[in-house]
Amino acid sequence: KIADAAHKVGYHSKGIFLSRLDKPLPELRLGFVLLKKSQQFYSDFATHIEAAISERHDYRITSDIRFSSSQSPDEFTDLLKTLGRRCDALACTAVNDPRLNRVVQDLKDKNVPVVSLLNDFAQGIRKNYIGLNNMKIGRLAGWMITKTVHQPGKLAIFVGGNRWHGHDLREVGYRSFVRESDLGFTVLDTLVNLETRQVTYEVTLDLLQRHPDLRGIYIAGGGMEGAIAAVREVHSTPKVALIVNELTAESRAGLIDGYVTMVISTPLKELCRTLIDQMIQATIEADDGVSGQMFLEPRIVLPESF
């Protein structure tokens, strides 16, 4: 029917057209490991992956998306091993750990390339890293707080855990910018929230109680919902600058109400399109032994963005 319609509108190479239609598309199976599906960001991430795959008409791609329920290296390694047995290429956001390095090396030896997402794990072994420049993201958070808070005091930073290299880089960037600004701010000891809203909520309440001169909080990883809830509970009007990652229903509401100063958002649509391109290329090109990095520009969302 498509060929006949093309013929009617003046496309007369019907035979060539039919041969192209009949030619089977190359098939690929791509595997993905993300964090908790209950978090809106990762649920949205999966949706964007599927959308990017659906846009490809040059390959017949089957996706297998799995979610890790924790930060356990063992869970990540199990998921990678399982997907590695059935997929042509993998992409994963995971912690930094020697066990993951071994699994990624084993997969590489079996010609199953792995792309690290958001957090650059298995450096020197994985095929590529796609995400934000985490050092610059930390400096951006420091810049915003020091420019919007006009009274010296204490600043806090939360990271998801001690195995997230990306969070470490954000912390370094944040601390270095605050130190270089020399405006009288003091960054407190780093707090670990395990990427959970409940831990973040409880620790933020404690921070607000113990440090009346707390001026700003930067959530370098997940768990921002807890911080937003805590500052709302303690302050009837916004008094602490709060920088968080990713635009969700809760961070959007926080921006609109003034409790969130800035959201640093990952451009998921662009990331996923680039990711699918790179995964396809990795399956058809010989491994040259070179690992790459692709830094995407973050989307900055402010209260006046709406």
Q: Are residues 118 and 158 in the same domain?
A: no
Q: Are residues 253 and 285 in the same domain?
A: no
Q: Report the distance separating Cα 15 and Cα 234, nearest Å.
A: 73
Residue 303 lies in a domain: no
Q: Are residues 56 and 112 in the same domain?
A: yes
Check residues 218 and 38 and name the one with the higher pLDDT: 218
CATH number at residue 114: 3.40.50.2300
pTM value is 0.89
**Range with the lowest mean pLDDT among 36-50, 147-161, 286-300?**
286-300
Q: Are residues 193 and 215 in the same domain?
A: yes
Phi, psi angle pair for 32, to nearest 5°: -135, 140
Query: If residue 114 lies in a helix (H) or strand (E), which one and from where to where?
Result: strand 114-117
Residue 124 lies in a domain: yes
Q: Report the distance separating Cα 41 and Cα 265, nearest Å.
A: 10
Range of the domain at 178: 134-265
Query: What value does the mean pLDDT of the chain take?
Result: 93
Q: Are residues 279 and 204 in the same domain?
A: no
pLDDT in tens, 241-251: 999 999 999 99
Which residue, among 95, 105, 64, 98, has the nearest Cα to 287 in the 3D structure?
Answer: 105
Q: Are residues 61 and 208 in the same domain?
A: no
Q: Are residues 20 and 103 in the same domain?
A: yes
Q: Are residues 142 and 240 in the same domain?
A: yes
Q: Report the distance separating Cα 83 and Cα 30, nearest Å.
A: 9
Residue 194 lies in a domain: yes
Burial tier of 45 (Cβ tally within 10 Å: 0-12, 13-18, 19+): buried
Residue 110 lies in a domain: yes
Q: Are residues 202 and 261 in the same domain?
A: yes
Please give the tally of structural domains in the chain: 2
> What is the pLDDT, as a whole number, of residue 61?
98
Q: Are residues 182 and 281 in the same domain?
A: no
